[in-house]
Amino acid sequence: MIPTTPILDPSLLAWTERLASEWRTIQAECDLLLGERDAIPSLGRIASYHRRIAPDDKWRSFFFEAHGYEVVSNRARCPATAALLDTIPDLVTAFYSVMDAGTHVPRHRGFSKGLLNIHLGLRIPGKAGDCRIQVADQNHGWGEGDLLMFDESFHHEVWNDSDRPRAVLFIQVMRPMRWRGRLLTRATIAVVNRTKYVQQARRSIGATPKRFAQRSRGEGR
């Protein structure tokens, strides 16, 4: 079972070791995008409901998939990263999360205890503590190639006090649970998917329904 603490050991999920081992491949594809500022749109422009926590266009997001939708053109630009994401069971959301210098994301939390957030550090500039996250009352930084996993239902807050962009691969998965918990989480996600906010975001990034028939994640592997 997964503990209910704010910060969790990534090794509790078997697939995280392989993801971390491929971090330089993922970093290289992200670096190509970092050289084109407009290639990574601001989160607030993608989804208006995020403007409370991303009002100034400093938090940028390059989505691969979210809530049952995928961005085919983004997958094509970063094929190695997309292929690795296809091996992750119960994946809900995945994107490059890029925070420009001076970014501050105010305290907020997710909507479900049934979801876990995993960050893979890709570009972490500045000195120790310049780029940091507080989850509940615990402060953590990132390291390039390192994983950070936390329960998104706890309040969290993020800073980039360095002079360069901070980039991580942001992954959200369903928490391993008994069948009742999984059913409840899936039902909650299904309701959220139908909201005008998710549909607005889907349209703004050109996302389409995931092609389950072509890519059955985790089956036959």
E strands, 7-161, where? Answer: 7-8, 59-66, 69-70, 91-99, 104-108, 115-123, 131-135, 138-141, 147-151, 156-160
Phi, psi of 38 (to 5 degrees): -75, -5
Query: Which of 21, 159, 186, 183 shows the shortest CA–CA distance to 100?
Result: 159
* The Cα angle at residue 96 between residues 212 and 193, in degrees rounded to 5: 45
Instruction: Report the alpha-carbon distance of residue 145 to residue 214 in Å, rounded.
Output: 30
Domains belonging to the chain, first-starting first, are 8-208 (2.60.120.330)
- Tens of pLDDT along the chain (221 residues) come to 789 999 999 999 999 999 999 999 999 999 999 988 778 988 878 876 676 777 788 999 999 999 889 999 999 999 999 999 999 999 999 999 999 999 999 999 988 899 999 999 999 999 999 999 999 999 999 999 999 999 999 999 999 999 999 999 999 999 998 888 888 888 888 888 788 777 888 888 899 988 643 444 444 33
SS3 1: coil
pTM equals: 0.91
Phi, psi of 139 (to 5 degrees): -100, 135
